[in-house]
Amino acid sequence: MKMKIAVLSGDGIGPEVTKESVKVLQSIADAFGHDFQFKEALVGAIAIDQTGNPLPEETLVLCKNSDAVLFGAIGDPKYDNNPDAKVRPEQGLLKLRKELGLFANIRPITAYDSLLEKSPLKKEIIQGTDMVIYRELTGGIYFGEKQLNEEGTVASDLCEYAQYEIERIAHLAFKAAQQRRKKVTLVDKANVLETSRLWRRVVTSLAKEYPDVTLDFLFVDNAAMQMILNPSQFDVILTENMFGDIISDEGSVIGGSIGLLASASVGKGTALFEPIHGSYPQATGKNIANPVASILSAAMLLEQFSLHEEARLIYKAVETMLNENIGTIDLNKDNPSSTSEIGDVIVKLIDSQDVTIGG
């Protein structure tokens, strides 16, 4: 298979972890006789530094003309600590999601058996956790009108949702549930927010098309508690943009490290694959960041193109590696591997599997 992959590695540890997932994808291409063409482009703070724009036109055009986008991370403390900055790295990612019409962000959370001891949560609680968050990605408070009065004393962010925005992601969530344990939990704040009540009405009505799937509801505050009290109760969580952002970071605690969580953003245009972690500026250039989230995002990329056997090989390699207690410092304090060593281990494990060329 021939595939054009835009590589937007971005800021902080982005380039280091993305380098490893490109390495892994290349090894998959070699093993299966695929032709993956990688093209790099600027995004985020580095793009602002070099062009003044967090999403240069050239980058957007490349993404639109590619089959997939492999994304690293964006963000830089010099913007985080400056609320007055007009141009921010995050605008690059948000605009890219919007321009590509990536309305659904899919974030799987699994408790690997070999890592049960690594989580700050008790083993008995997290054992058996296997959920996936469907986070709406191009609407809600992130994209509503923003205002600040002239005196700079009153600010507002509008949270708006239209029925069609809810329907299109809800369909994806129900279809995913049909392939899994057939349960969708809608997370909202319907006791307070009008948008949440619209979500409930729309999702309840659409659920009739999926009689084999059970639908239940949780207020987001309760959901935040349930996620760490009893995470194995969840199958597919469906939620709006900001709630999904927050609970997915919370969910990363279950797996033992945020450095393991991958995501796929899909919708109308070129799909984008990125780790859910940020740019982790403190670790930049140190070769210590965990590249597994990026590598698993690459596996999700392969799945998107129905290269299931290829993706399975990556999942298996990651699992074998974790079973052998090989990990970066977030997972193995006593004997940490470096970012690039992890990539090498995965490639080696992939190469050691018996793969039929062109299979």
Any binding-site annotation on 35?
no
Q: Is 201 annotated as a binding residue?
A: no
Which one of the listed residues 49, 113, 216, 221 is annotated catalytic?
A: 221
Residue 20: count of CB within 10 angstroms of its CB: 24
Our answer to whether residue 212 is catalytic in this structure is: no
- Closest to ligand IPM by CB, 173 vs 293, is 293
Judged by DSSP in three states, 39 sits in strand
**From residue 283 to residue 322, what is the string marking binding to ligand IPM with x (rule CB under 6 A)?**
----------------------------------------
187 binds ligand IPM (CB under 6 A): no
Q: Which listed option, ligand IPM, Mn ion, none, makes contact with residue 30 (CB within 5 to 8 Å by class)?
A: none
Nearer to ligand IPM, 215 or 260 (CB): 260
What is d(CA 7, CA 17) in angstroms, rounded to the nearest whole number?
12
Residue 107 assigned as binding residue: yes
Residue in 229, 236, 196, 198 with CA at minimum distance from that of residue 215: 236
Residue 82, classed as helix, strand or coil, is coil
Q: Do 186 and 227 touch, CB atoms closer than 8 A? A: no
Residue 47 to residue 53: CA distance in whole angstroms: 6
Which member of 189, 235, 280, 330 is catalytic? Answer: 189
Do residues 333 and 9 make contact, with C-beta atoms less than 8 angstroms apart? Answer: no
Concerning whether 249 is annotated as a catalytic residue, the answer is: yes
**Smallest separation (angstroms) from Mn ion to the CB of 13:** 15
Interatomic CA distance for residues 83 and 235, integer angstroms: 38
CB of 229 to Mn ion, least distance (A): 22
User: Interface residues for ligand IPM in 223-262 (CB under 6 A)?
Assistant: 245
> Which x/- pattern, by CB under 6 A, does the window 46-75 give for ligand IPM?
----------------------------xx
Nearest-angstrom CA–CA distance, 320 and 287:
22
Q: Strand pairing partners for 186?
A: 217, 238
Interface with ligand IPM (CB under 6 A), residue from 90, 250, 303, 319: 90
- Can 245 be counted among the known catalytic residues? yes
What three-state secondary structure class fits 38? strand
Q: Which of 318, 312, 325, 319 lies closest to 343 in space, CA to CA?
A: 318
Task: Check residue 276 for interaction with ligand IPM (CB under 6 A).
Answer: yes
Task: Choose the contact partner of 184 out of ligand IPM, Mn ion, none; CB within 5 to 8 A by kind.
Answer: none
In angstroms, the CA 170 to CA 175 distance is 9
Pick the closer one to ligand IPM by CB: 74 or 326: 74
Q: Enumerate binding residues for Mn ion (CB under 5 A).
A: 245
Residue 134 identity: Y
* Distance from the Cα of residue 298 to its chain's centroid: 11
Active site residue ranges: 142, 189, 221, 245, 249
Annotated binding site for substrate: 97, 107, 135, 221
Which residues of the shown chain bind ligand IPM in the complex (CB under 6 A)?
74-75, 90, 93-94, 245, 276
